[in-house]
Structure formats: C-alpha cells, structure tokens
Amino acid sequence: MSTVAFIGLGNMGGPMAANLIKAGFTVKVFDLVSAAMQALAEQGALTATSACGAAAGADIVVTMLPAGKHVRSLYVTDATSTDDTNKGLIDVVAPGTLLIDCSTIDADSARFVAEHAANKGLEFIDAPVSGGTAGAAAGTLTFICGGSDKAFEQAQGALNAMGANIFHAGGPGAGQVAKICNNMLLSVLMVATSESLQMGVDHGLDPKVLSDIMKVSSGGNWTLDKYNPCPGVMESVPSSNDYQGGFMVDLMVKDLGLSQEAALLSNSSTPMGALARSLYVNHAKQGNGKRDFSSIFEQFAQSKQIKK
C-alpha cells in the first residue's frame, strides 16, 4: 500500500487522515498543533517534524490548509529566499509523487501550484471537499477535482478511502470554482432555511414539525435534511451543541469572499451570494466567527427579540 503524507490535521484533515489509516495506507502526518499529530499517532500514523519531512519519500501528498497563501508557500519555494532549508514541497518530493490539495482556495492559487508542479514533472490536483466534519469522519466526503485525467486516475485509491463521491470538474482550478459555487449556494440555503423556520416559530409552529413538512415539500434542501439550524430539531448537528464544531462562520466568510472575487472575474451576477456574504460578515463581527455557520439562525431569532 502507498505511503501518504498528510499535512493539515484540523477538523476536516484529522478524520480524513484517520480514514486513510483505516484503509491500510501508511500515513505520515504533520501539523503545527502537536496534539493533532499525537491523536493520529495513537491511531497508527507516523509523525514528522516538518511538512517537508512528511512529504519526503511519500507516494502521495495530501494537504488541507486554510487559504491560498498557505498552499502557495507550502508547495512552491519562494524565489527570493536564500534559506535552502525552507523549500517548497515541489522541490522536496520524489519524482512521480502525486500532489493533492483538499483546501478550499482561489482557483488562481491552485493553477499557480499546478503550473509549478508540471514544470517539475509532477501531477497536482485541486480536490476541495464537501460534506462537513460528519462526512470527513464517516468517509463519505464529496471530492471536487481539478487537474489532468492522469492525476485524477492516480488519486482514485486515496480519495475513495476518504469519500463516497468523486467528481472531475475539469483542468487545474476547476475543482475550486465548482466548490465555491457549491458553498455560495449552501450559504443562501442556510440563510433562507433559518429565516423560514424562525418565521414559523414566530407564528407558534413547532420547528421540528415545520422542518418535516418542508423536507418533503418544494422547499426541501440539504440544510433541512442533514444540518438543521434550529436548536433541538435534529440530534448530532452543531445547532444542538451551541453551534460548536462543524464549519466555522469565518470559513464561510472566506469562501463567500472567494465566490464574489470569482464573480467579478467572470462578470457574473450573484446578488444572493453577495447578500449572504454581507450577512455572514456581520454575524462574524458579532463574535460568532468560530461558531458553526448554521448559527446564522440566531440573527433572525435575535431580530424578533429586539422587536419585542
């Protein structure tokens, strides 16, 4: 079985690496948080003292990082740097190593890394994920890939160990474009679901009954089926745990920023996406940045309380 270097062991990366271990891969991990590495070590992972140390000798490198600037700096050596010990992964990995970045970043950063990898004869795919922390733990993530046909085929074994749905959206950067389109839609659905449920509550309806009605009616959507934002309606989702865990508001703000940047580049009209970004930015400014994005529900509950 192949050796996989996994770099970035946050709420998503940690469970993804654990599923690679369960599938029989030799997994070598690195994260700036030592406790995250220790948790994987207890499940059978090898640990490294640096990202380059993890990647050296690996057959596959998987990364899960916060933003495009982190992906660029990790993979590509800074041309102005005189420090030979601070090389990008592209200059460290062995020939034939497959590079998979699962971060959600701007498409230009993905294309930048793909170009540098190609110059070294390496295959790189951007493979952002959808499915949340529950999907990461269960190994049911959706991978949305951008890259060559060859890279996509080579990635199947590792991606199948972590996900249930794997799509090839197109060339380098295409995975990122598809992902931010998806997350923009998700944000709009979450806002609309939240305001609809709260309006029902304002009129005395039971939010669980209303949710059950809407799930099988024309308003049915993923947030009602899998991620209800109203506390107490659905077990094992962030709304029933004071909106802890899951996908942070700060990350949704980041993704919505990416969607609006992409809209400007293509001259696309995205009024709902722009409004959703404004609502989430305001929500983050109120101290909710580290809470789950379904906590936007509280904005509508609070507005009712203010009217009283």
CA 11 to chain centre: 9
Out of 28, 69, 150, 179, which one is annotated catalytic?
Answer: 179
- State the alpha helices, DSSP H only, in the chain: 13-22, 34-41, 51-55, 68-75, 107-119, 132-138, 149-154, 156-162, 174-202, 207-215, 222-226, 249-266, 271-283, 297-307
Q: Report the SS3 class of residue 60.
A: strand
In the annotation, is 285 catalytic?
Answer: no
123/150 Cα distance (integer angstroms): 8
Asked if 63 and 71 touch (Cβ cutoff 8 Å), the reply is yes
Q: Report the SS3 class of residue 129.
A: strand
Identify the DSSP state of 131: S
Asked if 16 and 162 touch (Cβ cutoff 8 Å), the reply is yes
Map tokens 């509508």 to a residue.
300
CA 233 to chain centre: 25
- The residues annotated as belonging to the active site are 179
